């Protein structure tokens, strides 16, 4: 049955225009010399990486946050504990990412207390995906992009560590070996690919000490090519944040251990 009004009948803005009730020009505030267009530059955080090794999953991130070509902060926390066996590492706008992490943490905590059990791995992964989809409006405005990595331990399934990365729209991708996001990620992925393909051992066969060395080398390489990646500042004693997920839970490596490993195998 044909529609005598056509498809335009379902276009509500077009209907308002036909009746003279919508004037787009009146919806936009005028831009003048006294009220210039916005030049807001959001704070960004990069670079993060994660890979599987013999002890579980290592998740690491540099500490620098930038706004354009300005270093805003050199001690940003980009590797966040969500629950006893889950980590969310962030690249993108910290304000948005930290709020996502808080919402996700409270959601998992509420589920655990009301259902008297942990949320499934698939549930955790989809919960973060939904937060990213809900944030997509800010992404389109260029002020709220977040591209995280999520690592967790699957007790109900195969009893192995699981690792995922996401795009800005919330699509999740499970990886078998390693992941990296952020402005320094091309250099990081190159290092991880090389180590996994031609190193003395594949990443999943590395010991904890060797895994830390690979992570430090990858971030140091990224810092050489990307000004938004902080790398290591030995004078200020600023080192990447490294956490490890295993069956026993989450372990945060102390700065003293990271500094000693950096001095011995990287510097």
Residues serving a catalytic function are 46
| Greatest alpha-carbon span in the chain | 79
> Which one, of 161, 91, 160, lies nearest residue 132 by Cα?
91
CA triple 40-46-47, angle to 5 deg: 165
> Which one, of 51, 248, 50, lies nearest residue 159 by Cα?
248
Beta carbons of 232 and 75 less than 8 angstroms apart: no
CA 248, distance to chain mean position in Å, is 24
Pull the structure tokens for residue 27.
Answer: 């919806």
**Residue 92 exposed, middle or buried by CB count within 10 Å (0-12, 13-18, 19+):** buried
191: enclosing H helix or E strand: helix 185-198
Rounded Cα distance, 87 and 50, in Å: 10
């Amino acid at each position: 049955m044909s529609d005598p009004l056509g498809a335009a009948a379902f276009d509500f803005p077009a209907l308002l225009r036909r009746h003279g009730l919508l004037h787009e020009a009146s919806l936009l505030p005028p831009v003048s010399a006294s009220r210039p267009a916005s030049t807001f530059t959001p704070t960004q955080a990069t670079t993060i990486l994660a890979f599987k090794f013999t002890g579980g999953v290592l998740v690491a991130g540099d500490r620098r946050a930038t706004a354009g070509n300005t270093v805003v902060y050199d001690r940003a926390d980009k590797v966040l504990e969500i629950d006893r066996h889950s980590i969310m590492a962030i690249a993108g706008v910290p304000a948005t990412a930290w709020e996502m992490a808080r919402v996700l943490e409270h959601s998992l905590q509420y589920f655990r207390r009301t259902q008297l059990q942990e949320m499934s791995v698939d549930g955790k992964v989809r919960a973060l995906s939904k937060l990213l989809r809900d944030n997509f409006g800010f992404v389109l405005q260029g002020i709220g992009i977040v591209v995280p990595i999520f690592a967790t331990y699957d007790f109900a399934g195969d009893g192995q560590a699981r690792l995922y990365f996401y795009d800005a729209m919330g699509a999740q991708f499970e990886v078998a070996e390693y992941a990296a996001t952020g402005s320094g990620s091309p250099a990081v992925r190159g290092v991880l690919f090389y180590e996994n393909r031609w190193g003395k051992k594949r990443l999943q066969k590395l010991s904890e000490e060797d895994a830390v060395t690979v992570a430090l080398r990858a971030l140091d390489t990224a810092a050489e090519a990307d000004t938004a990646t902080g790398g290591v500042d030995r004078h200020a004693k600023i080192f990447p944040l490294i956490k490890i997920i295993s069956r026993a839970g989450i372990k945060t490596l102390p700065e003293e251990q990271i500094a000693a490993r950096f001095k011995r195998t990287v510097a």
